[in-house]
């Protein structure tokens, strides 16, 4: 097999961030190589976020990656906040000048971007594990990687680490090169996929004395639901019947709404964490997406932050390669981090407003209910939630 030895931009990770960056640069005639440690099948099946902000929708459409999204994605014009056995809708278009979100799973975004890259004949190596990023403070950084039981070296002008929280990109940096900000939450999410039509037209965020619950969907026939569970909980402790019983309890309202039950096809536990590593540039090594930051999924920001990062970075790289202008590259970290911290704050507010913290007393619970009531009764508060949820401008 012929492997590329030299490229302008070496990209570690074939998730949405790495694939979209490669696609944006390829469209501008900039050579890239994408290295992915996992198999193609794993990458295309990995369950992650499913809510696309308006800005993410616009980027995918503009770069030619939105055709299937527009055919199969589900436009949502609001969400429901449910508490005290009552539902309260937040209408996005009326509060944000017509903007909305779309339900379209990350797995489908990844499939679309992989298909575009393979159609273009651009290098994409699966089961190619990056081992280290070397000489990133020089003008010729390198990625050492293992592929088909042998080690190889990819020489680059620039390396972009889009390889997630546990990836080698950030770990290649000395500890004193980063400022790390982190918060772990004392609970996790138990997430399921079920072969049953959704019980709602839009997402339901439920605050209950037993804990948070979220009703989402992947398609008109597949539901995606979540339960707040203890941080040390295991999937084995939750039978299908127990999951559905608990979901029904937490979503219960005083009208005739009912939760639809069906076969559960997937279960998983997701810990809740907020994390930011600054800066996002280190010489010729750039961090993007989960390699640089993690948000709790309550605000639906993870995938959207990754798209925002690489959209800004792609524009900066194009300017540099075409004109030798490094101004936008120099400001990439500051530009991206402004959006990252806004999303971190919104995700934190949504998480702390909706979840029951086992360390909190009755006073804390009353504060949560007060915030929820204010959010659904105040146009100003509802507008703030809606603006952050549909997404602020990319730059």
Q: Which residues are catalytic?
A: 76, 205, 297, 301, 389
Q: Using H for helix, E for strand and C for coil, what is the string for 52-113?
A: ECHHHHHHHHHCCCCHHHHHHCEEECEEEEEECCEEEEEEHHHHHCCCCEEECCHHHHHHHH
d(CA 20, CA 360) in angstroms, rounded, equals 41
SS3 call for 181: strand
- Helix spans in 278-378 (H): 302-323, 327-354, 362-377
Cβ(253)–Cβ(301) below 8 Å: no
Angle between helices 379-390 and 327-354 (to 10 degrees): 130
d(CA 314, CA 286) in angstroms, rounded, equals 11
d(CA 224, CA 190) in angstroms, rounded, equals 11
Lookup result for tokens 């009531």? 373
d(CA 166, CA 291) in angstroms, rounded, equals 7
Strand pairing category for 150-161 and 142-147: antiparallel
Provide the token pair at 340.
Answer: 């990252």
Q: Using H for helix, E for strand and C for coil, what is the string for 113-160?
A: HHHHHHHHCCCEECCEEEEEEECCCCCCCEEEEEECCEEEEEEEEEEE
């Amino acid at each position: 097999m012929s492997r590329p030895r030299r490229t302008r931009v070496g990209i570690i990770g074939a998730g949405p961030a790495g694939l979209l960056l490669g696609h944006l640069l390829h469209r501008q005639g900039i050579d890239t190589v994408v290295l992915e440690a996992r198999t193609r099948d794993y990458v295309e099946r990995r369950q992650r976020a499913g809510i696309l902000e308006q800005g993410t929708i616009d980027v995918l459409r503009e770069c030619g990656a939105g055709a299937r999204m527009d055919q199969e994605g589900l436009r949502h014009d609001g969400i429901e906040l449910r508490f005290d056995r009552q539902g309260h809708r937040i209408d996005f278009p009326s509060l944000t000048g017509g903007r909305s979100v779309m339900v379209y799973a990350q797995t489908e975004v990844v499939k679309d971007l992989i298909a575009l890259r393979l159609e273009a004949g651009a290098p994409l190596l699966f089961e190619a594990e990056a081992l280290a990023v070397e000489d990133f403070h020089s003008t010729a950084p390198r990625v050492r990687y293992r592929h088909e039981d042998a080690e190889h070296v990819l020489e680059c002008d620039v390396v972009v680490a889009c390889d997630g929280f546990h990836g080698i990109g950030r770990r290649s940096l000395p500890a004193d090169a980063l400022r790390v900000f982190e918060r772990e939450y004392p609970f996790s999410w138990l997430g399921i996929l079920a072969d049953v039509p959704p019980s709602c037209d839009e997402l339901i965020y439920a605050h209950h004395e037993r804990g948070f619950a979220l009703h989402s969907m992947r398609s008109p026939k597949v539901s995606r639901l979540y339960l707040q569970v203890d941080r040390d909980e295991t999937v084995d402790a939750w039978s299908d019947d127990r999951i559905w019983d608990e979901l029904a309890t937490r979503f219960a309202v005083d009208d005739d709404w009912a939760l639809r039950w069906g076969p559960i096809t997937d279960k998983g536990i997701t810990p809740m964490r907020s994390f930011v590593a600054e800066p996002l540039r280190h010489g010729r090594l750039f961090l993007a997406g989960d390699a640089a930051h993690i948000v709790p999924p309550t605000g639906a920001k993870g995938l959207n932050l990754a798209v925002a990062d690489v959209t800004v970075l792609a524009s900066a790289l194009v300017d540099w390669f075409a004109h030798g202008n490094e101004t936008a590259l120099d400001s990439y970290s500051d530009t991206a981090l402004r959006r990252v911290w806004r999303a971190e704050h919104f995700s934190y507010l949504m998480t702390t407003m909706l979840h029951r913290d086992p360390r909190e007393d009755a006073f804390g619970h009353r504060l949560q209910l007060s915030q929820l009531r204010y959010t659904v009764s105040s146009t100003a508060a509802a507008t703030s939630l809606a603006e952050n949820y549909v997404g602020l401008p990319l730059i």
